[in-house]
Amino acid sequence: MLRRMKEYVSIPTLIKVYNAIILSHFDYCSLVWDEFADYLLTKLQKLQNRAARVITGSSYETKSEDILRELNWQPLKERFRIKKAMFAYNVRNNDKLPQSMINKFKTKDNSKYNLRNNYTDFVLEKPKTNFMKKSITYSAALLWNKLPKSAKTKGIGVAEFKSILDRR
């Protein structure tokens, strides 16, 4: 579809079409399925690379990482990691999620005192199966706990949190 449109529309329009039609399919429920399907992620990454080549008109000799950087796109694995970290941020800050989802995560305070730089990790219950290791509750909590303390500080805003994630 992008290849057929390329001769009729500008590159910014092609990017908007990609974001609206293709990327939205990649993102749909990625929080749930990304841990389960490494082989699918590889296939999706190839599709993203192909779309980037079509939009930029790059040849197959050009590294896909360079093309993605030129378009300011993240590889899908990184994109999904950031989405999962944002999900954990929303759980941690009781923001935009139903209480039933928030209740699935247990927190532990790393300080007995209410200090400005106090941060909170999630309790990681030892998974009994590989299926549980790949669940959103375990994988998001594990990702959150691995973030630097500056990202987990209470009261940090969304924009600052995203900038810390982008630097990693």
Structure confidence by residue, pLDDT tens digits, 57-103: 999 899 999 999 999 999 999 999 999 999 999 998 877 888 888 88
Check whether 111 has a pLDDT greater than 80.
Answer: no
Beta pairing partners, 153: 119
Which structure tokens are listed for 96?
Answer: 């935009």
Check whether 26 has a pLDDT greater than 60.
Answer: yes
DSSP-derived secondary structure letter, 119: B
Each residue of 130-162: pLDDT tens digit?
A: 888 888 899 999 999 999 988 888 778 889 998
Which structure tokens are listed for 140?
Answer: 């998001």
29 in the Ramachandran plot: left (φ > 0), alpha (ψ -120 to 50) or beta? left
**Which range has the top average pLDDT, 16-25, 113-122, 132-141?**
16-25
pTM of the model: 0.84
Kindly indicate the confidence band of residue 113, based on its pLDDT and cuts at 50, 70 and 90: low
CA angle, residues 161, 162, 165, in degrees to nearest 5 = 90
The number of CA neighbours under 13 Å toward the Cβ of 139 is 21
Q: Which residues contact 131 (CB under 8 A, 6 or more apart)?
A: none
